[in-house]
Every structure is written in structure tokens, then in C-alpha cells.
């Protein structure tokens, strides 16, 4: 035996367990360096909820300003910053983050995997997204514009050229906006690649593609869509920065650049983005509605096909945001048709959800309430979408409050309602405790009422000719009463969201013990303890059907005997 010169034992770990203050630090350090998909999912969720509150506060500020004509609550400069930040925050810091919150947390659990395919890429992506968000909000301090009012971006979230040129947007606000989106875009791409790889490579035995829960399918389709559409957005932001700092002329109309090319770049991202946000929400509904109807999802293959179909069609509809820019009549007709085609797979989805409810034994727990409201609101959102696809009518409705009402019906009425449903549904799995049903019911009914007061009314003020993005309006236009009603509904929604936030905190400490499977559900995540242990599954599960837990609970009548 040779003489051991190196203190090998000591090289491993000489630190003694530390005491109180540094324990907190170590706990924090654990979160910062983690590559665990569940911890990252939780951080994404926390991030999304914090920015939901921030974006919501901006919305409230907007509604206070618009409650009365010629109101002086916000200056025009600050108002323009508020609605730009509201849009950017809700789409990129809430919408994109909630996707990855649930995607990260649930996809590995649902397919019987122990983590994501690329855990470090996962952490990298989260921190990129997080820093992108900080960069955007740092603009309030760092982006000092011309007006001396601080310098948050004030060019709208679609940021049409050439308003974003140095000549019209001096200061650094627009730079923060562009940079933040580039940085977040890299984070988003990383996470999308990760989810695709995880779905393709890490499924447990028996989990064929057509045995995957629909939520996993929708995350898979969403991630594919993200890979396609974030790319032109990032390219456009880089071109914008080249224009602003390196003398480029991509969008410089004074030098032969094109304002419309920005619109194409932006909306080839921007429209599929809506589907990027809504498809995971469809995934929630496709998990929750069956469990609370006590039935298998109706027409699973058609649901998968419709999701893939929506993703494909969504790539060919972007110019319906541009019916007013003077396209040819043939161009307008083409995009009217392609947009209407989206209605076919979407209609199939709605029919399948209804057929799932049909003949079930529906339990109206809070997650299900939110999903039922989603079905109703998504139906309306789809129909107003058809109205906007009718190009000549869109020449009237475009950029009016009707459009605002329509897309809030999608983004709030469909997506946010389903996010709430998903939080009530999976919170017990994540924390081991149920959310309070009483607070949940208050949250649901207040939010539902506030939502309809606000956004139903917005359709009508749009019919009456109120354009979007205006910080005030003249009292003689016939919009006064309706705007006041819209604002009141906004406050009710604000209260409901605060109840939700309180419920999250309260139930964390006082919630009822959940157990492994509080909803008597059927997918793999409910087979492990709540919260799930590190690496999820002690032994790799084996599944034989789309509802592995149903098979275990009903050995006499398993799914695999019947599934097509």
C-alpha cells in the first residue's frame, strides 16, 4: 500500500452543517443552482404569478385612466408606457412563463421520466428568461427617455416601425424592450428544445406517443411551434437594434427601408404566439374535464390531430393582423380564408370536450368551474375571431376595442381561466395541500363576474368606434358609461386575483392534507407522493394505456382493452 499524501477524505466535504442564518443562504443557493425540473417549474410559476400581479396592476392603472373622459390620472407618456408594459409583460413574462412552469413540472411526471432531457439547459433557460424580464423592468430606471418620466418602453407591444426608430423613440426604452425580448427568446428556445427532447426520448415503457396524456401532446406541439416562431421575432429585434445603433435601414422608411416588413416579421411570430399560449391551456382542459366528468377524453386521436392541425394552420394566418395596410384583394381573401380554417380544428376540439362531458358525472370542484367557464368563453372568443377574419368587417373592427375584447377573451377568458383551473388542480400535487375550496369559489365567481362586466362591454364600445391605445377620449363620443362599467369590472377582477394570491399563501400553511391522489385521477403524476420526491419514480413505471391509474383502479375493466 502506498502512502496516501492527499487528504482524500477531507477533499470531499469538510464543512460541518451550518446554523441558522447560513441555512437560509444554503436553501436559497440550492434554488439558484438547481437543475431539478420540479424546482425550475416552481420558479417559473412564481415568476409568472409575480408578473401577473404586476401586469394586472398596470391594467388597473389603465382602467382608472379610462374610467372617465379627459381623465388626468396618468399623463399620456406614462399611459403609453403602461399599456406597452402591460402587453409585453402579460405575453412574455406571464404567458410564456406559465407554459414552462407547467411543462417543466408535469411533462416528466406524466411520461414517467425522472427529469427533463437536458437539466442544465433547463436551468440556463429559466435564468435567461428571468434576466430578460428584469432587463425589461429595469427600463423604468435605466431607459430614460426624452420626457424625463423614466423610460419604460412606450411603443406598444407590437412596436411598429418606424415609430421605434431613433428619430421617433429617443432614449433607451426601445432598446431595453428589444434586448429583453431577445434574451427571453433564447430562454424560450432552450426550454422548447428541452421539452421536445424529453417527450421524444424519455417516455417510460409502454408510453407510446398515442398513450401520452393530451397535456404532454400539447406541450410537444407548442414547443415545436415555439422553435418556428421565436426565430423571426429574435431576427426582427436584432435588425431593429442594427437600425438603431449600426446605421442599418431595414425599417428606416426615409432610406428605402420598409415599415411593412416589420409587421410581417412581428406577426409571423405574433399570431402563432397566441396558439403557443392557448395550446397548453387546451392541455389543462383536456386533463381536467375528463377527471371531473369521470370519463375518458372523447376522441383522443382527433384531439391530437386537431392540435397539430391548429399549429400548422396558425403559421399561415399572420397577415389577418394586416388587413388594413393595403394588401391586394387576393391577399386579403387568402388570409380571410386561412384564418377561418382555424375554426375547423378548434370546433372539433369544442365538440370533443362537450362529448366528454356528455354522459359523465360532473363534479363542480373549483378546477372544473374554471374549465366550464373556459369552454363558454372560448366559444365566444372563437366566434368573435371569425368576425375579425371577415376582412371587410375587420377594416372597421381592427384596432378598435372590439379587438381588445376578442383577444382578452382568448388570453383571459380561455388561457387565464385554464391556468387558474390548473393551479387549483395541481397545487395539491406540488405542495401536498389542497387549496381552500371556499376561497376558490369566491375567486371563481368574482373573477367570472368581473371578467364578463369588463370584456363583454368592451365589444360594444368597440362597435361604437373607440380605437385602442388611446390614453383618453372626448366626452361627446358616446363611450363614457361603457368605459366606466369596463373599469369597474376590472377592479372586481383585481380583487378576485388578490383572493387567489391569498389562497396560494394561506393554503401553503393551512391547506387540507392532499394525499397522493385527491381528485381520483388517472395520469402518472398522481401515482407518486405529494410533493413528488426527487427524481420522481423509484422504479420506472410501465403503462399499457392512456390512463395508467385507471387500469390499476379498475383491473377488471382496463382501458387498453378498448382504446383505438
Partner 1 sequence: MKPRRSPSLIFTRVLCPALACMSAMTCVAQGPQATPSILAPASTSAHQIYALSQFVLMITGGIFAAVGGLLVFVIIKFHARDDDAEHEPPQIYGSTQVELAWSVIPILIVVVLFLTTARIIFAIQDAPEPADALDVIVIGHQFWWEFRYPKLGIVTANELHVPVDRATYLRLLSADVDHSFWVPQLAGKTDLIPDHPNETWIQPLHTGLYLGQCAQFCGVEHAKMLLRVYVDSPQQFAAWVKNEQQSGVQDSTVAAGRHVFDTEACANCHRIAGTAATGSFGPDLTHLASRATIASGVLANTPQNLHDWIQDPNSLKPGVLMPAMQLNESQIDELVAYLDTLH
Please give the residues from 95 up to 154 whose contact with partner 1 meets the rule CB under 8 A: 147, 154
Q: Give the range of 101-109, 218-226, 397-405, 529-537 binding partner 1 by CB under 8 A.
A: 397-405
Query: Does 287 engage in binding with partner 1 (CB under 8 A)?
Result: no
Query: Per rule CB under 8 A, is residue 381 in the interface with partner 1?
Result: no
Q: Nearest distance from residue 77's CB to partner 1, in Å? A: 6
Shortest separation between residue 120's beta carbon and partner 1, angstroms: 40
Does 332 sit near partner 1 (CB under 8 A)?
yes
For partner 1, the binding residue among 383, 512, 529, 542 (CB under 8 A) is 383
Q: Segment contacting partner 1 (CB under 8 A): 11-19, 91-99, 104-112, 331-339?
A: 331-339
Can you tell me whether residue 79 is helix, strand or coil?
Answer: helix
Q: How far apart are CA 495 and CA 472, in angstroms?
A: 25
Among 143, 132, 149, smallest CA distance to 172 is for 143
Q: How far is the CB of 210 from partner 1 (least distance, A)?
A: 12
**Residue 474 interacts with partner 1 (CB under 8 A): yes or no:** yes
User: Taking phi first (over 0 means left), then psi (-120 to 50 degrees means alpha), and beta for anything else, what does residue 70 get?
Assistant: left
> Contact with partner 1 (CB under 8 A): which of 46, 64, 163, 228?
163
Measured CA to CA, the distance from residue 336 to residue 478 in angstroms comes to 31
Among 241, 315, 390, 439, indicate the residue that binds partner 1 (CB under 8 A): 390
Nearer to partner 1, 206 or 343 (CB): 343
Residue 527 DSSP one-character state: G
Kindly state whether residue 64 participates in binding partner 1, applying the rule CB under 8 A.
Answer: no
Backbone angles phi, psi at 159, to 5 degrees: 50, 55
Q: Nearest CA to 62 among 422, 401, 563, 464?
A: 401
Please tell me the number of Cα atoms within 13 Å of 99 on its side-chain side.
32
Q: Return the residues of window 216-255 that contact partner 1 according to CB under 8 A.
A: 253-254
Q: Which stretch binds partner 1 (CB under 8 A): 38-46, 93-101, 171-179, 295-303?
A: 295-303
Alpha helix stretches (DSSP H) within 7-75? 8-12, 20-33, 37-66
Q: How many residues bind partner 1 (CB under 8 A)?
A: 102
Question: What does the block give as the cell for 477?
Answer: 363620443
Q: Is the dihedral of CA 260, 458, 424, 30 positive or negative?
A: positive
CB of 486 to partner 1, least distance (A): 13
- Residue nearer to partner 1 on the CB measure, 150 or 531: 150
Considering only 333, 512, 529, 542, the residue that binds partner 1 (CB under 8 A) is 333
CA dist 277 and 345 (Å) reads 17
- The SS3 of residue 256 is coil
Q: Please state the φ and ψ torsions of residue 542, each to the nearest 5 degrees.
A: -125, 130
How crowded is residue 12: how many other Cβ atoms within 10 Å of its Cβ?
7
Nearer to partner 1, 36 or 551 (CB): 551
- 389 near partner 1, judged by CB under 8 A: yes
Instruction: Rank residues 359 and 533 by Cβ distance to partner 1 and give the closer one.
Output: 359
Amino acid at each position: 500500500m502506498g502512502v496516501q499524501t492527499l487528504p482524500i477524505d477531507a477533499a470531499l466535504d469538510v464543512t460541518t452543517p451550518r446554523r441558522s442564518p447560513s441555512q437560509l443562504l444554503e436553501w436559497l443557493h440550492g434554488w439558484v443552482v438547481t437543475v431539478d425540473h420540479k424546482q425550475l417549474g416552481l420558479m417559473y410559476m412564481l415568476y409568472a404569478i409575480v408578473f401577473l400581479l404586476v401586469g394586472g396592476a398596470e391594467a388597473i392603472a389603465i382602467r382608472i385612466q379610462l374610467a372617465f373622459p379627459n381623465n388626468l390620472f396618468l399623463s399620456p407618456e406614462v399611459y403609453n408606457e403602461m399599456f406597452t408594459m402591460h402587453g409585453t409583460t402579460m405575453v412574455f413574462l406571464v404567458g410564456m412563463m406559465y407554459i414552462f412552469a407547467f411543462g417543466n413540472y408535469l411533462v416528466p411526471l406524466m411520461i414517467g421520466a425522472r427529469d427533463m432531457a437536458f437539466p442544465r439547459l433547463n436551468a440556463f433557460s429559466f435564468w435567461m428568461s428571468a434576466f430578460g424580464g428584469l432587463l425589461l423592468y429595469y427600463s423604468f430606471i435605466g431607459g430614460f427617455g426624452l420626457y424625463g418620466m423614466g423610460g419604460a418602453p412606450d411603443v406598444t407591444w407590437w412596436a411598429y416601425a418606424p415609430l421605434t426608430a431613433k428619430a421617433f423613440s429617443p432614449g433607451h426604452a426601445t432598446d431595453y424592450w428589444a434586448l429583453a425580448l431577445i434574451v427571453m427568446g433564447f430562454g424560450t428556445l432552450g426550454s422548447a428544445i428541452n421539452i421536445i427532447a424529453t417527450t421524444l426520448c424519455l417516455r417510460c415503457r409502454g408510453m407510446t406517443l398515442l398513450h401520452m396524456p393530451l397535456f404532454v401532446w400539447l406541450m410537444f406541439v407548442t414547443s415545436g411551434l415555439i422553435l418556428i416562431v421565436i426565430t423571426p421575432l429574435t431576427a426582427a429585434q436584432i435588425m431593429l437594434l442594427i437600425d438603431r445603433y449600426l446605421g442599418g435601414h431595414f425599417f428606416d422608411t426615409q432610406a428605402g427601408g420598409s415599415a411593412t416588413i416589420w409587421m410581417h416579421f412581428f406577426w409571423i411570430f405574433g399570431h402563432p404566439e397566441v396558439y403557443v399560449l392557448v395550446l397548453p391551456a387546451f392541455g389543462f382542459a383536456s386533463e381536467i374535464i375528463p377527471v371531473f366528468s369521470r370519463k375518458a377524453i372523447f376522441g383522443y386521436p382527433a384531439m391530437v390531430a386537431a392540435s397539430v392541425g391548429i399549429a400548422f394552420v396558425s403559421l399561415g394566418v399572420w397577415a389577418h393582423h394586416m388587413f388594413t395596410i393595403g394588401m391586394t384583394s387576393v391577399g386579403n381573401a387568402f388570409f380571410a380564408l386561412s384564418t377561418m380554417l382555424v375554426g375547423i380544428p378548434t370546433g372539433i376540439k369544442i365538440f370533443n370536450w362537450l362529448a366528454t362531458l356528455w354522459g359523465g358525472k360532473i363534479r363542480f370542484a373549483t378546477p372544473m368551474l374554471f374549465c366550464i367557464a373556459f369552454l363558454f368563453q372560448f366559444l365566444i372568443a372563437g366566434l368573435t375571431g371569425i368576425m375579425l377574419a371577415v376582412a371587410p368587417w375587420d377594416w372597421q373592427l381592427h384596432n378598435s376595442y372590439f379587438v381588445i375584447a376578442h383577444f382578452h377573451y382568448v388570453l383571459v377568458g380561455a388561457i387565464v381561466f385554464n391556468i387558474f383551473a390548473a393551479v387549483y388542480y395541481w397545487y395539491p400535487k406540488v405542495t401536498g395541500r389542497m387549496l381552500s375550496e371556499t376561497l376558490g369559489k369566491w375567486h371563481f365567481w368574482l373573477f367570472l363576474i368581473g371578467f364578463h362586466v369588463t370584456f363583454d362591454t368592451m365589444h360594444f364600445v368597440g362597435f361604437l368606434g373607440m380605437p385602442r391605445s388611446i390614453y383618453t377620449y372626448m366626452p361627446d363620443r358616446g363611450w363614457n358609461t361603457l368605459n366606466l362599467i369596463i373599469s369597474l369590472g376590472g377592479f372586481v377582477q383585481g380583487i378576485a386575483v388578490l383572493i387567489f394570491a391569498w389562497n396560494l399563501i394561506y393554503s401553503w400553511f393551512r391547506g387540507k392534507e392532499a394525499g397522493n391522489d385527491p381528485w381520483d385521477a388517472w395520469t402518472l403524476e398522481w401515482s407518486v407522493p405529494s410533493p413528488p420526491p426527487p427524481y420522481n419514480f423509484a422504479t420506472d413505471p410501465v403503462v399499457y394505456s392512456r390512463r395508467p391509474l385507471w387500469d390499476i383502479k379498475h383491473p377488471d375493466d382496463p382501458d387498453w382493452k378498448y382504446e383505438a
